[in-house]
Amino acid sequence: MPTTYTELSRRSTRERRPSDIVCQVNTELSNFNEIKLYPAKDQVAWQEAMNRELKSLKNLEVYKDVKLPPGERAIGCKWVYKIKPSVDGTVSHKARLVAQGFVQSDMDYDEVFAPSLRANTLRAALVCVAKNKYKINHVDVETAYLHAPLQHTVYMKKPLGLKDDGKTDYWKLKKSLYGLKQSSYEWNKCIVKELVSIGFEAGIADPCLFRREKDGLISLLLLFTDDIAIITKAAQEANDIVYRLQKRFRIRNLGEIEHYLGLDIVKTNKGFKISQAKKISQLLKCYNMEHCKTAKTLMSKEFTHSDIKSPMFDKEIYQSLIGSLSYLGNWCRTDIYYSVNQMARYNAEPNERILASS
């Protein structure tokens, strides 16, 4: 009986290349154990960054060294690293300790929601400033969450890189460390309480718009997490507000507003010009579209909802792109919003044809 052989499938000789539209990922230090893989100079820089973060946590009394009580559960934590370029071309190493809030039990928190400033509120505020010739100043609260007291008991394992004292292995958190589910809520409650104490009232239509009337002078304040825009008639009013806030928080005064929430804000003779040129350039670079051809219209008239017979595309990359475009449309480029909404209908099952249309 002749010997039979199983026929092997033919291997394609086509050159395999990545898709033309693939988001570039910035390669930075991803975890503590990778530090030893870097040159000695970088290892020292990362260690100094972590030491600064630990010193900040200690100075703000974020935690207390404890032994884990019987029956209690402790969450973990992680170091998050970032390299920030400066205007002069140098880079600074940043390290932030983040709690692993995704393992928190329901007993560790109640509320988690915190409001955010609406785009229409910011645009209306700029119109108000231009019409009444007010001044608008930008201030930033440093390590904002770490100022907010934590209302629930949360235990956390000590971070890697911390010198072990041999006595305690856990922290009892006293402040709202980044990563906790309720941190944004606790911070918002903390800053609102402080603003109310110095005479501000939150708006009804937008709880991130605050108004104060003192000695016949009206001041407005816009709040977006730790970014604050102060609108006043005279510079002395803004200085008074900053002074009052500095008594409670670590405030960085950035002067007259120029950049806010990713927007470039330029004052002109007629008002303000807002743009997101830098954000758009970053988005084009991320998706390798810096040299793409411009289109005459925001959406191709040939595109129909039946154009779905095409190879499937990575859902995560597509959804990330749609999210970025939605942000641009919401804050500045309202002209693209309809087209982006149409593209968002395919978030669940994107394909290459739909991606090309976006």
Taking residue 212's Cβ as centre, other Cβ atoms within 10 Å add up to 18
The pLDDT score that the predictor gives to residue 252 is 92
Beta-bridge partners for 140: 227, 252
| Tokens matching residue 262 | 């990713």
Tell me the CB-side half-sphere exposure of residue 205, using CA atoms within 13 A: 7
The pLDDT score that the predictor gives to residue 145 is 95
The pLDDT score that the predictor gives to residue 86 is 66
State the pTM of this model: 0.81
Pairing of strands 155-157, 74-75: parallel
The pLDDT score that the predictor gives to residue 3 is 40
The pLDDT score that the predictor gives to residue 308 is 55
> What digits encode the pLDDT tens for the residues 222-245?
999 999 999 999 889 999 999 999
H or E stretch including 214?
strand 209-214
The pLDDT score that the predictor gives to residue 151 is 93
Let me know: does 210 contact 201? Beta carbons within 8 Å. Answer: yes
> What digits encode the pLDDT tens for the residues 177-210?
999 999 999 999 999 999 999 999 999 999 999 9
Q: What DSSP string describes 243-296?
A: HHHHTTS-EEEEEE-SEETTEEEEE-SSSEEEE-HHHHHHHHHHTT-TTPPP-S
Phi-psi region of 349 (alpha: psi -120 to 50; beta: other; left: phi over 0): beta
The pLDDT score that the predictor gives to residue 165 is 66
The pLDDT score that the predictor gives to residue 11 is 45
Phi-psi region of 269 (alpha: psi -120 to 50; beta: other; left: phi over 0): alpha
> What digits encode the pLDDT tens for the residues 282-313?
888 888 888 887 877 777 766 655 555 667 77
| Tokens matching residue 256 | 């007259």
Let me know: does 146 contact 56? Beta carbons within 8 Å. Answer: yes
Let me know: does 219 contact 172? Beta carbons within 8 Å. Answer: no
Sheet holding 170-173, edge to edge: 63-66, 170-173, 155-157, 74-75
Beta-bridge partners for 339: none
* Closest among 21, 22, 25, 17 to 357, alpha carbons compared: 21
Task: Show the beta-strand stretches assigned E in 38-143.
Answer: 63-66, 74-75, 77-85, 91-99, 135-141
Rounded average pLDDT per 10-residue block, the chain, 358 residues: 40 48 51 74 85 92 94 93 75 90 88 93 93 93 94 93 77 96 96 96 95 91 96 92 94 91 89 90 86 77 60 83 90 88 85 71
